[in-house]
Amino acid sequence: MNEFNFINVVKYIILGLIQGICEILPVSSSGHLIIVSELLNINDESISFELFLHLASLLAIIIYTRKDIIKLISNTFKYIKTRDIMYKEDFRYIMYLIISCIPICIVTLLFEDIIDYVNKTIWLIGIFLMINGLVLHLVSKKDNSRNEILFKDAIMIGLFQSIAIVPGLSRSGMCISGGITSGLDKKKTIDYSFILFIPIIVIAILKEILFGFKFSNFNVGLYLISFIISFIFTCLSLKILKKVINSNKFKWFGYYTFVIGMIVCVYFLGK
């Protein structure tokens, strides 16, 4: 178990900071966490530490999107009860979210061994970071104007999200790329991606609790520090991404992940 001392506190602050920033920004939080954990020599296998940090990001996103969530859930139940057409759009939005969740659930179950292998092969994460950068660069050139979510958007976003099961490929980045590729404008795609994060992480946490959760050998204090830092910086990142999209600087995330990917490949292949 990691001891509660100054060095470890700093390490876990860094991990919380990385999760908070990288979960929302399209740069792969899982990839960054694995790389930095390797560099800082943090071997935390007591419970899924990454999912614990995801819980902090989940809480931040729920608070950030709470009005939209309440509206969607409320109107969905109203539509089921009354079949009033004025609530149909929100009901359909919920159905699209469910559809978008299906591909990643299937892919995760089918390719769990491959995911585990990539998690332990740092230079491969570098390759996927480079791929992430190329995808973001390509979609940043598109300028769509459609802001209505369609069935094809839910499918495309779900398919793109499903390839982000490996660290290095950003879930938010692939969701945004899928929406833009489908013809949806960036702002609407980001809003959809934020809300889609909620059921995806809930499913992942439930899976971990049911099949992999362990209650021993972890330092509650260190985990709470990372949780709080992750929550705070997730809130800040939500605002940053909105501003970046509005200023048409989305491509810079692509440049960043490509360069970081190259550095990771060179460093870990040379060890």
User: pLDDT-derived band of residue 28, with 50, 70 and 90 as boundaries?
Assistant: very high
Listed in sequence order, the residues at least 6 apart from 194 whose beta carbon sits closer than 8 Å to its beta carbon are 24, 61, 64, 65, 238
- pLDDT for 92: 97
- pLDDT for 2: 63
Least confident of 52-61, 132-141, 244-253: 244-253
pLDDT surpasses 90 at 219 = no
Cα 132 → chain centroid: 13
Kindly state the DSSP code that residue 146 receives in the 8-state scheme: B
pTM of the model: 0.91
- pLDDT for 229: 95
